[in-house]
A and B are shown apart, each in its own frame.
Chain A
Amino acid sequence: MADEVTPQAPETPPPPKPPWEEKPVPAVPRDAATHPLVVELAAAVPGLEMQAVEFAGQVTVVVPLDRLLAVCRVAKETLGYGYLVDLTAVDWKDRAEGRFDVVYWLHRHRDEQRLRVKVRVADGVEVPSVTGVWKVANWMEREVFDMFGIYFADHPNLERILTWEGFNGHPLRKDFPLEGIDTGAAIYPDVYPPGTGPARSGGEGGGA
């Protein structure tokens, strides 16, 4: 029985596999200099030097620090980005062109478009606050200050927000260890005796 040959049906190409059975194709960055959102921004802010990248359908423009406030003002008042969705930072510890990325994620309701604006800043360089443009930026900038130690110039109330006053260091910096640091938690002196934590990174926490 085993060696009995059954007549083969004529070869038909197998039906295409549904996308969830294919190997996923990760997103690739693409130059977005001609993207309508970027063209529009370039027209609204004359003489703006920027790099524009599109990744996974989202457009990012990197602008120079001294033009940030102008870009944000124009984005809100002329281009209609009335809603600041998110403001955060990324620590690229040893990057030559500035340690931190400060990232602004803008939305406008007119055509439901989003644009990411980014600035690169070195450690210790002040970033102009955008609280005068979008009120919502207040707590977001406080969080970035608390977590990364990035100072925002002209912020109305730049205090720590998630950690406490006197906390030692800025937790989301890459050189802040996950455990063992003396964070200034003097209420548990038997667990973390003052001054016994590992070498601490920058920040205004200072000595123990």
Chain B
Amino acid sequence: MAKRSGGPSNTEIDMTPMIDMTFQLITFFMFVMNFSEAEQDDRIQLPSSQIAKPADGVIEKPITLQLTNAGSVIYAGELVAVRDIGAYLEREKTLMIDENREPNSATIIVRADGRAKTGEVQDIIRICQEKGFERFALRAQYDDRR
């Protein structure tokens, strides 16, 4: 029997494996996507530590202060001088008091660059203490190399 030539051949492609794989990929990306609202900035190179284990629970309404290598603080996406953070913290404190929360119950997350001066970190802690904050979380990159 002669093979039929000419005319459009109706080739059916089996799409099932491709759709399967695509859905698997979507699932993968959905799982690895970071939905956490933790403030992170690429300008900060955190020091690493094997002991700084990721927190078990979520810190409720933390205040994140990020200290850059150059000695400025990134607060809510804004670059602020260390000496000026007091005014911003005062605002946070007022907001907390309005919500019937004590400043000493809030956690200040300090994300300081490893190359920054320790004195500047201490300055930040001192200013926070003066505003009534006393819980601090010094953030480090978790390094699981043994």
Do A and B assemble together? no
Question: A: which residues have CB within 8 A of B?
Answer: none
Question: B: which residues have CB within 8 A of A?
Answer: none
